[in-house]
Structure 1
Amino acid sequence: MKKIKIKLYKPLAGLALLGMLGTQSCTKNFEKYNSDNTGLSDEALKPDFNFIGGFFPQIQSSIYFNFNNTTGDFQLQQNLMGDVYSGYLCPPNNFRGNINNMTYSLVDGWNASAFNLAYNNVMAPIFEIKRRGAETIAPEFWAIALILKVEAMHRVTDIYGPIPYSSYGSGGTTSAYDSQEAVYTQFFKELESARKTLSDYVAAHPGVSLFSKFDMVYGGDYKQWIKFANSLRLRLAMRIYRADPAKSKTEAEAAMNPNNGGLLETNKDNVQVSGFGLKHPLYTIITAWTDNAMNASMESILVGYNDPRLPKYFDHSTKYPGTYKGIRIGSLVTAKPGYSGYSIPANTETKTFRNNTPIQLMTSAEIYFLRAEAALRGYANAGGTVQELYEKGVSTSLNQWDATTAAISAYLADNTSKPIAYVDPQNANNNSPALCTITIKWDDGDAFDKKLERIITQKWISGFPEGQEAWSEFRRTGYPKLFPVVNNYSNNTIDSKIQIRRIPFPSTEYTSNKAEVEKAVLMLDGQKDLGGTRLWWDRP
């Protein structure tokens, strides 16, 4: 077949673009597929939409990165970054002699992963889907591609700030950056376009889904994808509240408008990726590498609340039996097995994290908490009072993890339990009094800030283990109150009290796209490419 020539963003060259589809799909990588005339042609793949749909498994499994089950890439993309900065996890490994991300000595070779993987494994195949005419040939496929693009790329802009987005794929070896405000504006337009396209398709073709065999989330149910689009729109609308309150309100109210297709409401609606041999990367990191442990902030809050989700999230410490024990970020962790035996993500006792555990991107509980915050801010269409939505968020999350009705009622009625102080039995220098002091039971007489803290603290608990999203919400709201780093090796570029706000642009951008990345730095709030510089939506 004819070789396709495409000029894309420079790091894309030579990367595989097609996901594995078993016996029904094209399984060649991009370069080979376009040069090997023994492969299946576009025409051969068109009758069953493999020529477009074949890209989707890669896209879906590359958001919380595990395409081809490359756990090492996930560890750099998220686990040693968002998972730690969110207060969820902390490795019992003294990588690089503790001169690493945990002590704010940011490792460029690690921190480029989130940037490169998203462009190579999500943006590239979506560009190719567009080039093959999906917008007109299969608009419902294109609508889902837009939703997945926003889901993947909002994580990237929430790590770095300005990113190449609107000009992606326009040709040449460099790509212009958009401000984060411009990127978010395009996100909202794309989500609305996707919602409308899918709504129109469902109305015109009830019960029809050509996407089902490619769908790793909803089995081809377009109505569920509409709910996902609206829920993602609500997430992003609330994120920009401090930067653009008017836009936040407009977008949130549109997302919550009951006439627009609805939001995630039950745990059956949760956005979870599975199938096609996908493996959960935490399983390998826990079992084979022993590179993950509970974060001290998780210990403080979940143990203090006697939270029913605790045994579903973590195993007991084997070093200090009968306890749950975390590691505080920035601790000078000694070489293995020094901190081995602290609590790890649940694998042995409740077996939550196994090879075939679905990868969670969004839950219905999160959406109830977002609606509760929207109601707190006076937005229309929230669909309940702040208290009702808060309690629904808590109960939905507890139900997700099989809590009993009695346990849920007792938890919601608890007005005394508070997070506990952190004690490191190996090094008292890491100890800290509890910073988060919020209780669980809703009190409508509380001040606004206390109500917000209660909502976000429970939202944080419910989001585990998706640390990238939790880190973004911590930066946006300041909640829950997380333990700061014990040792800060950032050379005064990151304030320990304020904590890390972003990741600097990869050094490869300064060598391959210098003029454009320098323009991007000027779009940053502090106009310095540092970990302590705030993003556009991250306002004090």
Structure 2
Amino acid sequence: MKPYYIIIAVLLLGATACTKNFEKYNTDNTGISTGQLKPDYNDVGIYLLQAERSIINFSGGGDPNSYQVQQNLNADIFSGYFMSPNPFNGGLNNSNYFMMTGWNGEAMKVGYLNIMSPISKLRANRTDTAYPAVWAVAQIIQIAGMSRVTDIYGPIPYSKAGASKSDIPYDSQEEIYKRFFLELDTATANLQNFINKGETLPFSFANFDMVYSGDFTKWLQFANSLRLRLALHIVKADEATAKAQAEKALNPANGGVITANSGNMAVRVGGSFTNPLVYIDRNWADTRIGADIACYLNGYNDPRISAYLGKSTDKTITSQYIGIRSGAVTGSNIKDDYIGYSALGSAFSLTTPIQIMTAAEVYFLQAEVALRGWANAGGSAQEMYNQGVTTSMNQWNVAIGNYLSDATSTPAAYVDPKFPANDKAAQSAITIKWDDAALFDVKMERLITQKWIAMFPEGQEAWTEHRRTGYPKLFPVAHNQSGGVVKDDEGVRRLPYPQQEYNTNATELKKGISLLGDADNAATRVWWDKK
């Protein structure tokens, strides 16, 4: 293998978190040495690989532990997609709002060690001037990864990350989002210039591009789709900017967005790299389907249900699609109590690509743009909604049937076949068929509910959208162990900052917490999360 081929592997082989040298993440964000300041293809490849791997952290060698604490035991549960049958920490853990310091810091650690640091090295190696199209992809990866980090915590060090080894300033989330949009401006301009001029690289990007096989046009479309996603995130905090950025993303002159499943942003895996969610589900049995997604799919007779969910295997339960209610696993449980509830379904294997963004999500974003009356939506809210549902069905290779005309089916109640104390009435009566005469809030609930179903199993974005919109309506946690901090009807709004920040960056952290209203807990709302 020629060294410069590794450049591309960045993108896309998958993702191990750095599980050692934790103390470095906020004391030396770049780690650049004098000997590394040279345009070496091999270095470029290594740095890109680190950054891409960390958008959703997955690792080779059968150890997805970082992904587990970065996302699966946090956002995947808070989104209503998953729940662990394992009573970690004697049944007191994030799933029932007893926030675990050791879990809460993983996303921040990975963000700085494996995203910000290697991309800083790419700039130091002059990749931005030598290969602007490659640098554009690096910027897109950084924004995709660090947008998740700020959405988890709120204010974080961003503009000055890597500028010093201590006292690293925090940026407000508003300023971070403004920088994301400016960085996307640079990235998309460089990609358009590269594409329009018919330029080429002195190495084969396609050989190791595990997402788009060297297709820079698809990277451009993902960048525009990412801009659209981020724009809608902030609509309640800054509607004017949200509108302007959404319309820019959807302006055909800017290169277009993802419109087909062939353009989905999903990282292929292979060799020693495996899908971390599937590994945790199949090899460790540490995650099972959440009650919320199971009840929506059951109630709607959704044809995706067998793709998403396996049937229960517990010998005391008739084979059925049954999830675990969030917070139901307590200190009195053993793992065997819930291990036979629904696992992942037939569509998933250890080699299933890691889904980050899909065409279906983009259509639902366009539906919201149309619903708000903004320009460039591409069609009416109903047309985009129907296209989103249809595209999702196609993604999972299921027949849509009369799903879109179903005006009567509603989400099912939760009935726990082994522990009736967890039973809960359905939280929503929203139906499937679009009703253009409905009130705005009803349309939003219908739209976001179907968007949430379509985004499965990507829990981070699903949790963000639930916080932003209040939809879908989820079951309250079965046992709330937050000591009164987190309200049952609001759920976890963010993760507290890790202890490492208190230990090594306390002065600047205090300023960051002041941007949150001086409250660093799981009930504190981030900037864009408005009631």
1:310 alignment counterpart: 305
Larger CA deviation: 65-74 vs 395-404: 65-74
**Whole-Å separation in 1 of the counterparts to 2:269 and 2:60:** 12
Cα shift at 1:34: 8.3
The question of whether the paired residues in 1 share the 8 Å contact of 2:140 and 2:187 is answered with yes
| Residue deviations 1:199-251 (CA, integer Å, cap 9, x gap) | 00111225667533342211111100100000000000001000000000000
**Whole-Å separation in 2 of the counterparts to 1:271 and 1:291:** 26
Cα distance change of structure 1 residues 300 and 264 upon mapping to structure 2, 3 Å threshold: same
| Residue deviations 1:427-484 (CA, integer Å, cap 9, x gap) | 2221110002110011111111000111100000000111010000000000000001
Q: Does 1:91 align with 2:88?
A: no
Cα shift at 1:513: 0.3
Three-state SS of the structure 2 residue aligned to 1:475 is helix
- 1:379-394 superposed matches below 5 A: 379-394=374-389
Q: Does 1:66 align with 2:58?
A: yes
1:502 alignment counterpart: 494
Three-state SS of the structure 1 residue aligned to 2:443 is helix
1:527 alignment counterpart: 518
Three-state SS of the structure 2 residue aligned to 1:288 is helix
Residue in structure 2 matching 1:256, options 250, 269, 288? 250
Cα shift at 1:15: 10
Residue in structure 2 matching 1:106, options 88, 95, 99? 99
**Whole-Å separation in 1 of the counterparts to 2:487 and 2:450:** 26
Paired residue type of 1:11: K
Paired residue type of 2:319: G
The question of whether the paired residues in 2 share the 8 Å contact of 1:199 and 1:261 is answered with yes
2:476 alignment counterpart: 484
Residue in structure 2 matching 1:56, options 48, 51, 55? 48
Cα shift at 1:10: 5.9
Q: Does 1:174 align with 2:172?
A: no
The question of whether the paired residues in 1 share the 8 Å contact of 2:86 and 2:329 is answered with no
- 1:22-37 superposed matches below 5 A: none
Cα distance change of structure 1 residues 482 and 13 upon mapping to structure 2, 3 Å threshold: closer
Cα shift at 1:16: 12
Q: With structure 2 as the length reference, what TM-score do the two structures score? A: 0.91
| Residue deviations 1:115-159 (CA, integer Å, cap 9, x gap) | 101111111111111111111111111111110000000100000
Paired residue type of 2:436: D
Residue in structure 2 matching 1:293, options 288, 291, 303? 288
Three-state SS of the structure 1 residue aligned to 2:414 is coil
Paired residue type of 2:80: G
Q: With structure 1 as the length reference, what TM-score do the two structures score? A: 0.90
**Which ranges in structure 2 are unaligned for 5 or more consecutive residues?**
1-20
1:514 alignment counterpart: 506
Cα distance change of structure 1 residues 275 and 100 upon mapping to structure 2, 3 Å threshold: closer
The question of whether the paired residues in 1 share the 8 Å contact of 2:410 and 2:431 is answered with yes
Cα shift at 1:9: 11
The question of whether the paired residues in 2 share the 8 Å contact of 1:60 and 1:273 is answered with no
Cα distance change of structure 1 residues 481 and 284 upon mapping to structure 2, 3 Å threshold: same
Q: Does 1:328 align with 2:293?
A: no
Larger CA deviation: 459-468 vs 68-77: 68-77
Residue in structure 2 matching 1:232, options 211, 226, 249? 226
**Whole-Å separation in 1 of the counterparts to 2:167 and 2:482:** 30
Cα shift at 1:11: 2.2
Cα distance change of structure 1 residues 249 and 14 upon mapping to structure 2, 3 Å threshold: closer
The question of whether the paired residues in 1 share the 8 Å contact of 2:266 and 2:357 is answered with yes
Cα shift at 1:68: 3.7
- What's the % identity of the aligned pairs? 45
Cα distance change of structure 1 residues 15 and 169 upon mapping to structure 2, 3 Å threshold: closer
- 1:442-461 superposed matches below 5 A: 442-461=434-453
| Residue deviations 1:87-119 (CA, integer Å, cap 9, x gap) | 000011111111100110000001111110111
1:24 alignment counterpart: none
**Whole-Å separation in 2 of the counterparts to 1:485 and 1:231:** 33
Residue in structure 1 matching 2:122, options 124, 129, 145? 129
Three-state SS of the structure 1 residue aligned to 2:266 is strand
Cα distance change of structure 1 residues 13 and 536 upon mapping to structure 2, 3 Å threshold: closer
**Whole-Å separation in 2 of the counterparts to 1:227 and 1:149:** 16
| Residue deviations 1:363-416 (CA, integer Å, cap 9, x gap) | 000000000001000110001000000000000000001112xxx241111111
Cα distance change of structure 1 residues 386 and 248 upon mapping to structure 2, 3 Å threshold: same
Cα shift at 1:336: 1.9
Paired residue type of 1:531: A
Cα shift at 1:172: 2.4
Three-state SS of the structure 2 residue aligned to 1:456 is helix
2:392 alignment counterpart: 397
Q: Does 1:372 align with 2:384?
A: no
**Whole-Å separation in 2 of the counterparts to 1:505 and 1:215:** 34
**Whole-Å separation in 1 of the counterparts to 2:223 and 2:212:** 13
**Whole-Å separation in 2 of the counterparts to 1:427 and 1:34:** 61
Three-state SS of the structure 2 residue aligned to 1:329 is coil
Paired residue type of 2:197: A
**Whole-Å separation in 2 of the counterparts to 1:529 and 1:240:** 21
2:349 alignment counterpart: 354
**Which ranges in structure 1 are unaligned for 5 or more consecutive residues?**
1-7, 18-29, 36-40
Cα distance change of structure 1 residues 295 and 222 upon mapping to structure 2, 3 Å threshold: same
| Residue deviations 1:265-294 (CA, integer Å, cap 9, x gap) | 000000011246321012221122111111
The question of whether the paired residues in 1 share the 8 Å contact of 2:26 and 2:165 is answered with no
Three-state SS of the structure 2 residue aligned to 1:509 is helix
**Whole-Å separation in 2 of the counterparts to 1:345 and 1:393:** 23
1:11 alignment counterpart: 24
Paired residue type of 1:234: L
| Residue deviations 1:30-88 (CA, integer Å, cap 9, x gap) | 89x988xxxxx887x84xx3332332222222211014453011100000000000000
Paired residue type of 1:226: L
**Whole-Å separation in 1 of the counterparts to 2:416 and 2:43:** 55
Residue in structure 2 matching 1:424, options 405, 416, 440? 416
Three-state SS of the structure 1 residue aligned to 2:397 is coil
Paired residue type of 1:366: E
**Whole-Å separation in 1 of the counterparts to 2:166 and 2:513:** 19
2:338 alignment counterpart: 339
Three-state SS of the structure 1 residue aligned to 2:356 is strand
- 1:126-275 superposed matches below 5 A: 126-206=119-199, 210-275=204-269
**Whole-Å separation in 1 of the counterparts to 2:189 and 2:311:** 47
**Whole-Å separation in 1 of the counterparts to 2:22 and 2:435:** 51
